[in-house]
């Protein structure tokens, strides 16, 4: 309990740093400690939701993309779809909590990264399309977004502190992939 309280204080202080990074931080075995933002606020209840929190209405989708999150990959089938309302039907096949963030960008290397996470606060206006917040391994969730023709990047930007104190960035571990929307 003392170690979790200390980890929570460290995350709170890190969240108050004005580095502009929006980071989802997990501690000891995958319970979320919150997320920081450029304004220094901490969002979240201190744990990953027990159930997924779907985004949008899957019934409105023109296309559904089967999406799998796992340690340390994201797959999307198909990986190119026509423009319109797209539902990502997401399975977290991993043991750890993961999230899916959708950003309009031509290349993952173009994304601003700070402290191991994509710095959502410094993305160009309109680049952040949306996200399905972190949810536990073994669960499914969905996110429905309106996507116009162009290049997109799908990623998980959770950063966690392992029990031994090492920092693990899901993005830097490879949970990122390009996604194409055609006209």
pLDDT tens, position by position, 34-82: 333 222 222 333 445 568 899 999 999 999 999 999 999 999 999 999 9
Average the pLDDT over 155-182 and give the result. Answer: 95
Give alpha helix (H) positions in the chain.
2-16
Q: Give the model's pLDDT for residue 153.
A: 98
Classify strands 128-135 and 158-161 as parallel, antiparallel or unpaired: unpaired
Checking if the pLDDT of 105 tops 90, the result is yes
Closest C-alpha to 87, from 51, 55, 129? 55
> How many separate domains does the chain show?
1
The more confident residue out of 41 and 169 is 169
User: Residue 174 — very low, low, confident or very high, per pLDDT cuts 50/70/90?
Assistant: very high
> For residue 3, which phi and psi values (nearest 5 degrees)?
-65, -40
Q: Express as a percent the part of the chain with pLDDT over 70.
A: 73
Q: What is the pLDDT of residues 127-151, one digit of tens each?
A: 999 999 999 999 999 999 999 999 9
**Cβ of 157: how many Cβ atoms within 10 Å?**
29
Q: For residue 175, give the CATH number of its domain.
A: 2.60.40.420
pTM of the model: 0.76
d(CA 102, CA 154): 5
The more confident residue out of 153 and 31 is 153
Boundaries of domain holding 60: 2-182
């Amino acid at each position: 309990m003392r170690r979790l309280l200390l980890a929570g204080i460290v995350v709170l202080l890190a969240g108050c740093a004005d580095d502009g990074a929006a980071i989802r931080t997990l501690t000891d075995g995958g319970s979320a400690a919150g997320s920081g933002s450029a304004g220094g606020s901490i969002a979240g209840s201190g744990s990953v939701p027990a159930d997924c929190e779907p985004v949008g209405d899957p019934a409105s989708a023109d296309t559904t993309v089967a999406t799998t999150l796992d340690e340390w990959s994201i797959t999307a089938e198909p990986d190119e779809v026509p423009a319109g309302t797209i539902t990502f039907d997401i399975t977290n096949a991993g043991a750890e909590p993961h999230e899916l963030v959708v950003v309009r960008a031509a290349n993952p290397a173009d994304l601003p990264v700070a402290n191991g996470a994509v710095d959502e606060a410094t993305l160009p206006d309109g680049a952040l399309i949306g996200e399905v917040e972190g949810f536990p391994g073994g669960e499914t969730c969905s996110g429905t977004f309106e996507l116009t023709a162009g290049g997109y990047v799908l990623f998980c930007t959770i950063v966690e502190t392992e029990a031994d104190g090492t920092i693990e960035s899901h993005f830097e571990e490879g949970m990122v992939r390009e996604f194409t929307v055609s006209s």
